[in-house]
Amino acid sequence: MRPEMKEFNYDWMLWRILDPASRTADGTAKELQHMYRFAPYFKGILQPILQEGAPGIHFLKLLNQYLENVNTAHSRGKKIAITTFCFSPAICYALDIVPVTLEVITAVGGLMWKRGTFDYLDYACEIGFTETSCSSQRGALGAYLAGLGEEIDMVLCDTPGICDTNANAFAFAAAFLKKPFYQLNYPQGLGDKRTDTYHVDDYKAMIRFMEAHSGNQLDEDRLREILMEIDQQDALIADLEDMHRLVPTPLPPMYNLFNYVGRFLFSGSPEYTRLLEQMVAKTRENAEAGRSGLHSGKEKLRAFLCYIDHYSLNWNFWKWLDDHGIAHMGGILSRGFRDNACYVADLPGSSYGVETGTLDAMIDSIAQMNARLPMVRSIRGPFDQPNMWLEESLAVAKIFKAECMIYNGTPGCRNTWGMVKPFAREIEKHGYPVHIMYADAFDDRVESWAATAERLNEFFQVRGLL
């Protein structure tokens, strides 16, 4: 790793950039213009966020709050757990543990810096990660493994049997740093009693692990408070998704990201509820005016991202879609599968509910919620099994009136690369053109953004979509 990269911690650097930015966001236009002069690279990510108005500003503050929590955790006597995007942080908040969701802070580095997280990605390989291991964990994790981050106290993941590459990154980190490790493990099925019982047994064992390693006991009232907040958040998300079905969709493209990043960082926390309220208000305003959420105001096409987004510098991917009049109909990350969601009707057994009557009911609710998070829900079994990736993608595409699908991941997505060709073929049979991107969502060196954009252009032109 370059010596200058070792001067400061990665999570500290992100925080020190976001902290002043989130404060300035409330300033006057003149103050903003002045600030942009001092942030020539960061401007590319900051400007589009702030252009979204109140939700953008709130999102920025939310990210900053998260990083502040991480950087001040130990001084406040709290333990830190590294975890993954498909693991709900709500249980960490219930146990007063500070979560670090690696994929999100890898993405923030990739979006914000021209150098991305390249140095940390490469460092992880230097100490033993395979070159095609998933970049989403490897970026931020490289920094933590190099000792360039707050010290980690425990490792939590829920991807064994879902994404080996992901689970392996966490297992490696635990072995390398000699930290306690817990893995939630999901069977291939979903929605049957046997599987649901396994989810709960495993989740209860994890709570015991977290209690043992944090020294904190699960507080029933605190858990209830968090679940009630989640209940409220799910209702707001359902409102957003109902409006997302309109043609043109009134949701600005970036709202998809605001939504899922908020959930990955602050599920069950009031900060995220406020963000959702602001997004719902703005979307409702657009919907009532019959306005498209795209900046051009003209929706030409609706694309569903059947996997994840592409986190290249300065929101290149979102900007490209927006510039071409393509509405982003969300992806695997956007959907939470609450029982009030508009897309679950055709997928019986796929959703979860929230019960707060007793401690057991609450643990059952949070365990089932966790089991329906992105990826751990959709790609746990054969892709054409009931409720899995194929059915889910078709149901979501249908309800949101998508006209094509785009697959994007990283070379580390061993699970989806293992089936994406037959999956795409099945999707095409249902009339949806599918574009398979060969880029790396978190590492532009695998395929430059220019090449990725060229291939997107080619797809939309060759298939006669634009």
We find the least distance from the C-beta atom of residue 354 to another protein, in angstroms, to be: 24
Find the DSSP H helices in 82-192: 90-94, 102-112, 118-126, 135-145, 164-177
Our measurement of the distance from residue 105's CA atom to the centroid of its chain's CA atoms, rounded to an integer in Å, reads 10
- Measured from the CB atom, the residue of 129 and 258 that comes closer to another protein is 129
Q: Which two tokens stand for residue 101?
A: 């969701």
- Measured from the CB atom, the residue of 168 and 452 that comes closer to another protein is 168
Q: Which residues pair with 326 in a beta bridge?
A: 301
- Measured from the CB atom, the residue of 76 and 194 that comes closer to another protein is 194
Measure the CA–CA gap between 143 and 135, rounded to whole angstroms: 12
We find the least distance from the C-beta atom of residue 30 to another protein, in angstroms, to be: 49
* 433: phi then psi, degrees, rounded to nearest 5: -60, 140
We find the least distance from the C-beta atom of residue 386 to another protein, in angstroms, to be: 13
Measure the CA–CA gap between 145 and 179, rounded to whole angstroms: 12
Kindly report the number of other CB atoms within 10 A of residue 438's CB atom: 14
Measure the CA–CA gap between 267 and 269, rounded to whole angstroms: 6
CB-based contacts of 197: which residues, under 8 Å, 6+ apart?
none
Measure the CA–CA gap between 466 and 462, rounded to whole angstroms: 9
- Measured from the CB atom, the residue of 225 and 391 that comes closer to another protein is 391
Would you call 42 helix, strand, or coil by DSSP?
Answer: coil
Contact 249, 327 (CB under 8 A): yes
Q: Could you give the C-alpha distances from 352 to 26, 209, 339, 370, in angstroms and in order?
A: 38, 24, 5, 9
- Measured from the CB atom, the residue of 145 and 326 that comes closer to another protein is 145
We find the least distance from the C-beta atom of residue 366 to another protein, in angstroms, to be: 17
We find the least distance from the C-beta atom of residue 65 to another protein, in angstroms, to be: 31
We find the least distance from the C-beta atom of residue 452 to another protein, in angstroms, to be: 16
CB-based contacts of 441: which residues, under 8 Å, 6+ apart?
107, 135, 136, 308, 309, 310, 311, 408, 409, 410
We find the least distance from the C-beta atom of residue 383 to another protein, in angstroms, to be: 5
Cis-peptide, bond into residue 248, ω within 30° of zero? yes
We find the least distance from the C-beta atom of residue 398 to another protein, in angstroms, to be: 22
We find the least distance from the C-beta atom of residue 372 to another protein, in angstroms, to be: 18
Within 193-350, strands assigned E span 301-305, 326-331
Place of tokens 């589009």: 48
Residue 419 amino acid letter: M
- Measured from the CB atom, the residue of 133 and 393 that comes closer to another protein is 133
| Interacting residues with another protein (CB under 8 A) | 127-130, 132-133, 157, 160-161, 163-165, 167-168, 170-172, 174-176, 181-183, 185, 187-189, 194, 198, 201-202, 205, 381-384, 411-423, 425, 438
- Measured from the CB atom, the residue of 12 and 438 that comes closer to another protein is 438
- Measured from the CB atom, the residue of 34 and 425 that comes closer to another protein is 425
- Measured from the CB atom, the residue of 170 and 272 that comes closer to another protein is 170
- Measured from the CB atom, the residue of 34 and 208 that comes closer to another protein is 208
Measure the CA–CA gap between 358 and 417, rounded to whole angstroms: 42
- Measured from the CB atom, the residue of 93 and 120 that comes closer to another protein is 120
We find the least distance from the C-beta atom of residue 280 to another protein, in angstroms, to be: 37
We find the least distance from the C-beta atom of residue 194 to another protein, in angstroms, to be: 7
231-381-105 Cα angle (round to 5): 55
Secondary structure, 3-state, 336-352: CCECCCCCCCCCCCCCE
